Amino acid sequence: MRLKTLLAVVLLVSTSLTTIQADALKGRGASFPGPLYKAWTSEYYAETGKKINYTPTGSGDGVKSIKKRMVDFAGSDKPLKSKKLQKTKLYMFPSVIGSIVLAYNIDGIKDGELKLSRAAIDAIFSGKATHWDDQIITKDNPGLKLPHEPITTCVRADKSGTTFNFTYFLNQINPAFKVSKKPNWKAAKVVAGKSNSGVSANIRQIKNAIGYIEYSFKIKLGLPAAQIENKEGKFINPTVESFQDGATYATWTADNDFYAVIGDPKGATSYPIVAATFILLPIEKVEKNKEVTAFMEWAFSKGDKIASGLGYVPLPDSTKDEIRKYWESKKIK
């Protein structure tokens, strides 16, 4: 093949790949639903040939990126109130419900063996309890040999919706905790990591560590997680069933763009740290928004089994129907 012809072929292939890449929908933000969005987008591409690139950079980055119109859509675990949505010219709706677990790395303590009361969680993350054999922890774990070792708390380094939802739960226990995407932690020994992946890696690598992560990361890495005391005083293991029980207390309405924080729900069988994650869309990008809602329609219709398999809770059919009406009212379906 002559050099000119070869160069022409290379240029054509390069241009085609650039065009394909340019046509792909781009999203970024919350790492909480990252494993699910990865599975959904992969299956959606296999079925439709439509490419969606989602980068799990954290809710704070997602909100920042969509405000600057750097992406076609964003993910955020912290919902935005209607006034803020109007100011930034955004639409918002939930995509799925997940949960936050307290995963740990303590020699000899298996998955689900550690029980953490609300008082113990408050003590660990406020710095009042500095060692694993503190009486506030041991009193609910008489059969466990908890070591006299310092507690390392693994938290997020970035602005995080997972942190927002976890601190919301902490605030329900102790109002002194400020609800925040990036709080000033007062725990005795703190190690920060970026995204759920970074926190999970720190827990896995650091002996006597504990940290808050989304449930699917616990499953993926095989990390042990604690039973947590719920609002009714019951110790609940993190399971899809207990997440579903907690999620039934969520209330949604299109009137306020589905704003809802589910954390610390009622119910004797409810897992206490349940959270929804949301999609943000720029109002003016009507045609791109239709592509995003087409993907979400596919996810709502065909993605529930994938979601459940990864430990998420699909939205109720009634909520999905309300979201579809919301799309129609905004003329983005």
12-38 residue pLDDT tens: 444 333 334 457 999 999 999 999 999
Whole-number Å distance between alpha carbons of 238 and 201: 20
d(CA 55, CA 75): 9
Q: How many Cα atoms sit within 13 Å of 104 on the Cβ side? A: 24
Confidence of residue 45 (pLDDT cuts 50, 70, 90): very high
Question: What are the φ/ψ torsions at residue 129 (nearest 5 degrees)?
Answer: -105, 120
pTM, 2 dp: 0.86
Structural domains present in the chain: 25-97+249-263+273-329 (3.40.190.10), 100-247 (3.40.190.10)
**Beta bridge mates, 192:** 155
**Using alpha carbons only, what angle is made at residue 169 by residues 226 and 162, rounded to the nearest 5 degrees?**
80
> For a pLDDT cut of 70, what percent of the chain falls above it?
93
b/e map of 11-23 (b: 16 or more CB within 10 Å)? eeeeeeeeeeeee
Give pLDDT, residue 22.
52
The pLDDT tens digits of the residues spanning 64-76 come to 999 999 999 999 9
Portion of the chain with pLDDT greater than 90, in percent? 89
Q: Note the pLDDT tens digit of each residue in 106-136.
A: 999 999 999 999 999 999 999 999 999 999 9
pLDDT digits (tens, 9 = 90+) for 203-221: 999 999 999 999 999 999 9
Q: Give 235's contacts (C-beta < 8 A, 6+ positions apart).
A: 115, 117, 140, 227, 228, 229
